[in-house]
Amino acid sequence: MNTKERLTKVLNNNIFNSASDIKDFSNYETYLIKEDNIKVIVRPDVISIWDLTNVMLRGKVKKLNLYLNKGIAEHADVEFEYLLQSNSIREIIDNTRHGDTIGAFLVNEYDDLKATQEGINPFNFDKVKKANLNKTKFNKVDIVKIILNDQYNTITCNSIYTDDYQYDNASNFQKGQINDNRLLKLLNDLLDNYNYSIYKEGNTIKVGYVNNYYTVTL
């Protein structure tokens, strides 16, 4: 099983063919909807919707934040389910704009996000091309390409520092080779962060961001 297949398997519980396959949104989780190429994150007072079409590729990413109207403090999941009775998620993201009111929600729109700064999209895995390993300088998109296209031998965590020194010490700073759940987190964290350092050293690439440090061996 290659890396793309393994990571898709990790995400399997969050992937749905269509919104109608989701029985309820009360788990406050992330839902990946293949039919519309959309990600929905549900929280008690806000629904965040991303159009994933360009994520990990090129172009812009439209993101809508649907905030519950003043006077309703929670149960965004219930209000969202009501909303979907008369609107598809694709209709919501295509037809609403910043400042609109739809159902019990106020729309706060962010539509100028870079496609390489919004985490991963399993529906676009097969569109991610291989990295050029002959380069001398690499960026975070190169690292994503290397990982998803199995252009590496091992990925090792050198250290992770949290604000809990006792935990860090007891876990040996999480050093060692990483499993698929941590690999998924690495990809998401790397794409979500603006501040990172990447440099090549022999047949290895050192990756660092926000007190997380890894070595990718080619």
Q: Is the pTM of this model over 0.75?
A: yes
Q: Tell me, rounded to whole angstroms, the distance of Cα 88 from its chain centroid.
A: 22
DSSP H or E stretch at residue 90:
helix 89-95
Asked if residue 111 has pLDDT above 70, the reply is no
Give per-residue burial for 199-214: e unless 16+ CB within 10 Å, then b. ebeeebbebbbeebbb
For residue 52, what pLDDT is reported?
87
* pLDDT average, residue stretch 154-180: 92
Tens digit of each residue's pLDDT (9 = 90 or more) over 183-215? 998 998 888 777 889 999 999 999 998 899 999
For residue 43, what pLDDT is reported?
86
Asked if residue 60 has pLDDT above 80, the reply is no
Strands 15-16 and 105-114: unpaired
* pLDDT average, residue stretch 94-110: 86
For residue 57, what pLDDT is reported?
80
For residue 65, what pLDDT is reported?
84
Q: What is the DSSP letter of 69?
A: P
d(CA 86, CA 147): 41
